[in-house]
A = this chain, B = another copy of it.
């Protein structure tokens, strides 16, 4: 089933999925525009049992093979006696590189460029030493609330996880829709489960620590574009890795979604509990919320997305 594109073909593919100009030449929110007020009302109507599932890993504070730059978490005051403030309160401090591979985070649209341009044609020089002057993470400050849909590939395949480096094609996304009795459509938050953290939990970090990742083949871009998704998330990085492409096209799904389509990405979401919940309930659509930190000029936000059933 493997499809190979030349780099030129990939470039052509990228152009074909462009949303530049769709929401006006000044737009910085991209496909978040698909989530209208009506979509949010409809998402709220999905709530039946009131149960919630977090899709976030704990912030990774310990170094590990998939986490070379851990979050630094230090206490400013602890609970031990002997100092005046410590006797009635505690406080802490943390420092984070949100794009880390063990951190659940939302990529801003500015995170990737293609031929010197961001989403909607903004110049990459808009991102300077002060941060991103266009398409920063705070364009989502009002929160991303809509219908979430889980696509659980291992469930469809009848296995525990997809191996690192294994690609997912559009046909398989459609097979998943049939299996889950759900159809991805305009304004949906699509969550793609590969079972990467199930693999980590079962075999340890060494099993996932290489450069290979399970994920979408570049040929899925057209499919994602046609479905008009608002947001894409995965328990890996959405792209299958390695691709056969060189930088800067090394991650065609990243480039195609962030730059061309204006679709924000969630990397490293923990979808294992969600998968169990969906299977148990027999439904794969739910109210989804992600409320990014309001970091003006930021290129990402650590996030705790939550599904409400």
Given contacts A56-B141, A124-B79, A289-B289, contact A93 B95 (CB under 8 A): yes
Residues of chain B lying within 8 A (CB to CB) of residue A289: 143, 145, 289, 291, 306
A298 at the interface (CB under 8 A from B): yes
**In whole Å, how far is A5's beta carbon from the nearest beta carbon of chain B?**
18
Which among A113, A116, A290 has the greatest number of chain B C-beta atoms within 10 A?
Answer: A113
Docked Cα-Cα span, A142 to B305, in Å, equals: 9
Partner of A41, one of B40, B48, B93, B94: B48
For chain A, residues 36 to 58, give those with C-beta under 8 angstroms from any C-beta of chain B: 36-41, 44-45, 47-54, 56-58
Which residue of B is nearest A36, CB measured?
A: B50
Given contacts A112-B88, A141-B56, A294-B58, contact A95 B83 (CB under 8 A): no
- Interface bits A264-297 vs B (CB < 8 Å: 1, else 0): 0000000000000000000000010111111111
**In whole Å, how far is A7's beta carbon from the nearest beta carbon of chain B?**
13
Residues of chain B lying within 8 A (CB to CB) of residue A299: 75, 90-92
A69 at the interface (CB under 8 A from B): yes
Docked Cα-Cα span, A47 to B165, in Å, equals: 42
How many copies of this protein are present in the complex? 4
For chain A, residues 78 to 126, give those with C-beta under 8 angstroms from any C-beta of chain B: 78-99, 104, 110-114, 116, 118, 123-126
Given contacts A75-B127, A298-B92, contact A40 B36 (CB under 8 A): no
Residues of chain B lying within 8 A (CB to CB) of residue A291: 54, 289-291, 303-306
Residues of chain B lying within 8 A (CB to CB) of residue A250: 88
Contact B113 A87 (CB under 8 A): yes
A8 at the interface (CB under 8 A from B): no
Contact A80 B44 (CB under 8 A): no
Residues of chain B lying within 8 A (CB to CB) of residue A97: 76, 91-93
Given contacts A41-B49, A142-B53, A143-B304, contact A125 B294 (CB under 8 A): no
A128-136, A218-226, A230-238: which one contacts chain B?
A128-136
A159 at the interface (CB under 8 A from B): no
Name A's B-contacting residues (CB within 8 A).
Answer: 36-41, 44-45, 47-54, 56-59, 61, 63, 68-99, 104, 110-114, 116, 118, 123-132, 138, 141-143, 145, 247-248, 250, 254-255, 287, 289-300, 302-306, 308
What would 15 A/B residue contacts be, using CB atoms closer than 8 Å?
A: A38-B50, A40-B47, A54-B141, A57-B294, A58-B296, A71-B295, A75-B130, A78-B127, A80-B82, A89-B112, A89-B248, A91-B98, A91-B300, A93-B95, A93-B96
